[in-house]
Amino acid sequence: MAVLSTTSLPKIEPLSVSQSAPRRVSVLGSTGSIGRSTVDLLARNRDAFAVEAVCANRNIDLLAQQARDLGAKVAVVADDSLYGALKDLLAGSGVEAAAGETAVCEAAERPSDILVAAIVGTAGLKSTLEAAKRGALVALANKETLVSAGQLMTAEVQKGGATLIPVDSEHSAIYQVFDFERPETVEKITLTASGGPFRETPLNEMARVTPEQAVAHPNWDMGAKISVDSATMMNKGLEMIEAYHLFPVGADSIDVLVHPQSVVHSTVSYVDGSVLAQLGTPDMRTPIAYALAWPTRMNAPSPKLDLADIGSLTFEPPDTVRFPALRLARESLKAGGSAPTVLNAANETAVAAFLAGQVGFLDIARVVETVMDEMPVSQLDALDTVFEIDGEARRRAAATMAALN
């Protein structure tokens, strides 16, 4: 378990719109949900930030618009077949066009002060590691990086002198109230969860859930994959694993609590009985703004929290029978090694199949559990090993789903 102490973090000048040298920012995954929120904040604070690079998977129309609006130096599309079309869209703008996986990693290596890692899934692993190696401040919105390769990532962060600021609302909340100088005083951390759209849906009805229903999150505006993960509560399971690598606590000191209103974003319990929490409206621009402005703060357009208007906040334990993904994630965390890598790869494969209408909603957890049972736990000693295990887990997940049909 890596211990990330703020005592070793580099000094960063407080954010000011009047400062002579704006912070240079690169946004990987700029056309996704987190990326769009990041771009919105950058556009509102043009004097405080200079955009080095924006990257997307395939949405070149939005990518080109973002690059033009922000005055980015380079725009990168991961699908290299779209290079010509992107170049045409950027003609006359002064923005350089690039394409392909190598170009995405090169964008992460460019001299930005802040790298917003918002590429969904293991596709963002290599580029995030490159940013860590050069000592950037990494605003981490890609949880799969820590889930699939947590020890490798935290080792690169420490070796490269990078700063890792979590962007997930739950981990950002914990980061803001965690006493890194006295971690021994922390009793536990608690990740809150909305419970998703099926918190009270009978199991027999969950078997008939459609992709359209699963992506309709009650509180948050998120991408399709993350929304499905929230509906299965795998998202919270992945966050438990991520929290283990972000904060110096043991696996047994990480808890989950269902909080339907999504106002209390997480809590830290201390040995003296104190429980510290970060509260706010469910708007991802708040934790993104915290990461962009760290170690100070910046204005964000998020709606202001009015507790009197909300009236009441409720909490309940998660139902691991209804949501077996939580149990599977905790089992993989305790097993360690390659187990979380397998969990994540099988889940990504199953979720993609569900969104394509190829398997049922409840099949997602079944597929993950089958693959976890089939694959022995091994040690992760290199990035190539991570990708080998990831690939094998995806192949087994595909075979399992083929057998279901």
Query: Which residue, among 243, 238, 273, has the nearest Cα to 351 in the 3D structure?
Result: 238
Radius of gyration of the chain from Cα atoms? 20
Residue 218 scores a pLDDT above 90: no
* pLDDT digits 0-9 by tens, 283-336: 999 999 999 999 999 999 999 999 999 999 999 999 988 999 999 999 999 999
For 17-49, write each residue's pLDDT tens digit. Answer: 445 579 999 999 999 999 999 999 999 999 999
pLDDT tens digits for range 335-354: 999 999 999 999 999 999 99
Residue whose C-alpha is closest to residue 397's, from 378, 372, 361 = 372
Q: Are strands 275-279 and 264-270 parallel, antiparallel or unpaired?
A: antiparallel
pTM for the structure as a whole: 0.89
Identity of the residue numbered 323: F
Residue 8 above 70 pLDDT?
no
In the chain the domains, ranked by start, together with CATH numbers, are 16-166 (3.40.50.720)
Q: Is the dihedral of CA 209, 212, 214, 217 positive or negative?
A: negative
Residues in the chain: 405
How many Cα atoms occupy the beta-carbon half-sphere of 365 within 13 Å?
A: 23
Within 77-214, residue ranges assigned H as helices are 83-89, 101-109, 125-133, 143-160, 169-177, 203-206, 211-214
Predicted local confidence at residue 219, as pLDDT: 64
Token pair in block for residue 55: 């990257």
Backbone torsion region of residue 239, taken as left when φ is above 0, otherwise alpha when ψ lies between -120 and 50, otherwise beta: alpha
